[in-house]
């Protein structure tokens, strides 16, 4: 016989447990904004290193563009050696041709998301970053509100946001580079206007990893956000650089805590290019 659960018990369980977590994560070591391929990879490596890691995702579901490989075809392509970052979470990729791997994008997405959370990262979904917190010469957190609030009619949108602090913020918001865009506008940062270039997959992959960096004290960009603020060529549905960029972002963040992570030697080599 199934346990009979009162409606108010359901309400209390949800509210109490979330608010307990929310209070705990008003201050984190690292906030990762965006949960696409770069974001969840960065979060997994950070959490594995014992860093208090919060992922903010404005959508209900995590994963960004990972769920559909390309043009709604649910297969993901990853080149060597980045395929190892998929296989280390328990998904065996098929070698399509030498050094080029393919696999079910929904399955890979689910594995990567679960691995980040299993490592200890916490996610608040449906939360959107509206601004950054700053002190003199560095970013010290983000200002958030429910994503649904931004969809309300203007006369209803006087809903003040709340603030979450961290020692490092990672912008993994994809093509729009939303955190970097906000910081550029409000703090007048000397970074390019986010605007990705046209397709050149090989150069786009290399340049995205190269441009994964700290653009302002306390703010690191990775994935398509790093691509976009550099005006770099896009690579389309090829995911290797996204994953490796996430590893690099985690490595850069961990340096601030005097921590290191164990990285596969082939991937480490790509990080240094």
Check whether 58 is labelled as a binding-site residue. Answer: yes
pLDDT of residue 1: 94
Give the model's pLDDT for residue 155: 75
Q: DSSP of 220-270, one letter per residue? A: EE-THHHHHHTTPPB--SB-HHHHHHHHHHHHHHHHTTT------HHHHHH
Domain for residue 241, yes or no?
Answer: yes
In a domain, 13, yes or no: no
Kindly report the CATH number assigned to the domain that includes residue 251. 3.50.50.60
174 belongs to an annotated ligand binding site = no
Q: Is 83 annotated as a binding residue?
A: no
199 pLDDT higher than 90: yes
Question: Rounded to whole angstroms, how far apart are CA atoms 54 and 215?
Answer: 20
Q: How far apart are CA 103 and CA 236, in angstroms?
A: 16
Give the pLDDT of residue 167.
98
pLDDT at site 67:
94
- Asked if residue 107 belongs to a known ligand binding site, the reply is no
Question: Would you say residue 240 has pLDDT above 90?
Answer: yes
Tens digit of each residue's pLDDT (9 = 90 or more) over 14-41: 999 999 999 999 999 999 999 999 999 9
The answer to whether position 7 is within a domain reads no
Which of 211-215, 227-231, 255-259 is least confident? 227-231
User: What string of DSSP letters covers 95-147?
Assistant: EEETTEEEEEHHHHHHHHHHHHHHTT-EEEETEEEEEEEEETTEEEEEEEEEG
If you average pLDDT over residues 207-226, what whole number do you get?
Answer: 96
Does the pLDDT of residue 195 top 90, yes or no? no
Residue 12 assigned ligand-binding role: no
Q: Is residue 256 part of a domain?
A: yes
Q: What is the dihedral of CA 17, 146, 63, 12, to 10 degrees?
A: 20
Asked whether residue 18 is domain-assigned, the answer is no
Confirm whether 175 is domain-assigned. yes
Question: What's the chain's average pLDDT?
Answer: 95
118-169 confidence digits (pLDDT tens): 999 999 999 999 999 999 889 999 999 999 988 888 777 678 899 999 999 9
Domains of the chain: total: 1
Percentage, residues of the chain above pLDDT 90: 86
Q: Is 234 annotated as a binding residue?
A: yes
DSSP assignment string, 58-84: SSSSS-GGGGSSBTTB-EEEEETTTHH
Q: Is 29 annotated as a binding residue?
A: no
DSSP state of 192: P
Residues linked to residue 128 through DSSP beta bridges, in sequence order: 145
Residue pair 147/127 in contact (Cβ under 8 Å)? The answer is: yes
Tell me, yes or no, whether 17 lies in a domain. no
Question: Does residue 64 lie in a domain region?
Answer: yes
Which single residue is written with the structure tokens 């065996």?
92
Is 151 part of any known ligand binding site? no
Q: What is the model's pLDDT at position 272? A: 80
Q: Residue 178 CB: number of other CB atoms within 10 A? A: 21
pLDDT at 241: 97
Range of the domain at 167: 24-271
Arithmetic mean of pLDDT, 257-267: 93
Asked whether residue 57 is marked as a ligand-binding residue, the answer is yes
């Amino acid at each position: 016989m199934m346990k009979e659960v009162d409606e108010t018990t359901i309400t209390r369980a949800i509210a109490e447990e979330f608010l307990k977590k929310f209070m705990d994560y008003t201050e984190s070591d690292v906030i990762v904004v965006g949960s696409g391929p770069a974001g969840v990879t960065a979060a997994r490596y950070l959490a594995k290193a014992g860093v208090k890691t919060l992922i903010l995702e404005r959508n209900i579901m995590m994963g960004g563009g990972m769920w559909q490989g390309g043009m709604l075809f649910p297969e993901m392509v990853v080149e060597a050696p980045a395929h190892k970052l998929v296989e280390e979470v328990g998904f065996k990729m098929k070698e399509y041709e030498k050094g080029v791997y393919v696999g079910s994008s929904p399955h890979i997405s689910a594995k990567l998301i679960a691995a980040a959370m299993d490592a200890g990262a916490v996610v608040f979904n449906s939360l959107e970053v509206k601004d950054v917190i700053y002190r003199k010469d560095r970013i010290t957190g983000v200002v958030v509100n429910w994503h649904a609030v931004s969809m309300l009619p203007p006369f209803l949108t006087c809903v003040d946001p709340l603030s979450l602090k961290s020692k490092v913020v990672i912008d993994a918001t994809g093509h729009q580079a939303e955190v970097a865009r906000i910081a550029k506008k409000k703090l007048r940062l000397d970074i390019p206007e986010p605007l990705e270039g046209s397709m050149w997959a090989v150069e786009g992959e290399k340049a995205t990893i190269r441009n994964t960096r700290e653009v302002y004290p306390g703010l690191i960009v990775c994935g398509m956000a790093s691509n976009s603020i550099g005006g770099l060529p896009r690579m389309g549905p090829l995911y290797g650089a996204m994953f490796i960029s996430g590893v690099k972002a985690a490595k850069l963040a961990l340096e601030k805590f005097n921590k290191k992570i164990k990285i596969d030697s082939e991937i480490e080599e790509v990080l240094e290019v």
